[in-house]
Each structure stands twice: as structure tokens, then as C-alpha cells.
Amino acid sequence: MEKPLRYLCEELGYQFKCMQLLKEAVTHRSFSAEYKIDYDNQRLEFLGDAVVEIIITNMLYRRYTEEPEGILTKIRAALARQEALAEIARELDLAEYLRVGRGESASGGHNRDSTLCDAFEAVAGAIYLDGGYEVAEQVLEPLFDKIFPEPHNLLNSSNPKGKLQEFVQRGGSSSAPKYQIENKEGPDHDCTFTVSVTIKGEKIAEGKGRNRKLAEMQAAMKALEVLSS
């Protein structure tokens, strides 16, 4: 059973004037189909996608005053990607509030990156409709700051393992980074992997992810940050 939405309002730091908007934002199409209700969060997701993009654009424009358009575009794309928005959704425990059908819930669908990303965008759209753009920016921008305090670092996220390999080779080493699973928690449909990356026998960093690939990418990104500093 999903948590009461008043707790999600507390997580967001925003009290909706129209709670029906928030209720719609957390309603997955599988729930609507199963219980024969005439709304789901797909339209709010469509709106929220644009709201999130303009919030990110404004944030980057103010923060990186010297960067050219091409770099800002790449950072914005990294911040707006599915995995990044799903990470913010998890910070809000959004999966605990989602209304999904029984089959979707049994298969762990409420924890999928795609479902969480869509729900986050729908919540963004709901806040925009309820309070306007300035309110949406005030509520959502701090979430990006909390999860991604240095958005510029996300430029490494397009191919972090490849960039780490290049970094190591430029340093004169012929040894490839080695990745190893350190831990796996949770059931198969909702597990978290912890992976370490080692270079020349030295453990450099660890990363976590919903699957091994994502955990390796996180480990590579963190290793790049450590080695670059």
C-alpha cells in the first residue's frame, strides 16, 4: 500500500493547493487500467518534461557563466537523462507513493528507472500547474543541487569506463581498470549492486547501481573524480 501523499509534500517542501494533481502524478497507467479510472500520469509527465528542462537550463546558465552552448547542452542532457531523474525520485522515496497495478507491483515495476523518471516529471508538471514556474523552480532546483552538486562532472557519464581507460593509458599504464562486485542487496527484481574499480592492484573507488552495468559506471565516474583531483 502506497504512503499517504502528505508525506510526499513534506519531502518536497511544498503543500499542494490541489491534491488531485499530485494524486494524478503518482498514478501509473497500469493502475488506471486495472481499476478503470479515467486518468494517469502520462499527460503530466509530458508537461513536466518541459518544466524540468527549463529549470535545468536556467540553473546551468546562471552557474556556468563561462561555458559555451555546446558544453551546457551536454551537461543539460546528462542531468535530464532517465537515470539521473530516477536517482532524484529515489531520494524522494517516490516509489513508496506510486499507485501501480498489481502485476506491475509484483514485477518490481514501481522501482524501474523508467517508471520513476516518468513519475518525477509528472510531479514536476503537477507542481507547475499548482503553483507556477517560480514555485516549481524553488522546489525542484534544490533537489538537483543535493544529488548533483557538481553537474559539470556528469560530462564523464556518457562513457565513464572508456574515459577512465583513456585516463589510465595517458598516465603511461598498460593495465586496464578491473571491476569487481563487492556486494548485492535485495531481491532480483529490486537489488542494488556495489562494484569496486581497481587500477594496478589499488582499489580507487566504489559505485552503486540497480544493475552491474550502472554500478560499474558509477565506480568509473568516482574514480575519474579521485584521479583528476
The set of cell numbers assigned to 40 is 494517469
Instruction: Please provide the average confidence, as pLDDT, over all residues in the chain.
Output: 90
The set of cell numbers assigned to 105 is 507491483
Q: Rounded mean pLDDT of 128-141?
A: 98
Does residue 87 surpass a pLDDT of 90? no
pLDDT band at 49 (very low <50, low <70, confident <90, very high): very high
Does residue 174 surpass a pLDDT of 70? no
As annotated, the active-site residues are: 49, 121
Does residue 7 surpass a pLDDT of 70? yes
Query: Which residue bears the cell 569487481?
Result: 180
Q: What is the model's pLDDT at position 103? A: 85
- Considering only residues 200 and 153, tell me which one the structure prediction assigns the higher pLDDT: 200
Does residue 181 surpass a pLDDT of 80? yes
Q: What is the model's pLDDT at position 189? A: 67
- Considering only residues 82 and 174, tell me which one the structure prediction assigns the higher pLDDT: 82
Query: Which residue bears the cell 509534500?
Result: 9
Query: Which residue bears the cell 509527465?
Result: 45
Q: Rounded mean pLDDT of 122-134?
A: 98
What percent of the chain is modeled with pLDDT above 70? 96
**15, 77, 95 from 22: Cα distances, Å:** 10, 26, 14
Distance between CA atoms of 33 and 30, rounded to whole angstroms? Answer: 5
Q: What is the model's pLDDT at position 158? A: 61
> Which class for 185: exposed (0-12), middle (13-18), buried (19 or more C-beta within 10 A)?
exposed
Q: What is the model's pLDDT at position 157? A: 60
Q: Are 31 and 99 in contact (CB under 8 A)?
A: yes
What pTM was computed for the model? 0.73
Q: What is the model's pLDDT at position 43? A: 98
CATH number among 3.90.25.10, 3.60.20.10, 3.40.50.150, 3.30.160.20, domain 158-228: 3.30.160.20
**56, 81, 138 from 53: Cα distances, Å:** 5, 10, 14
- Residue 89 phi/psi, 5-degree rounding, is -60, -40
Architecture in CATH of 5-147:
Orthogonal Bundle (1.10)
Q: Where are the domains of the chain?
A: 5-147, 158-228
Dihedral sign for Cα 54, 140, 126, 17, please. Answer: negative
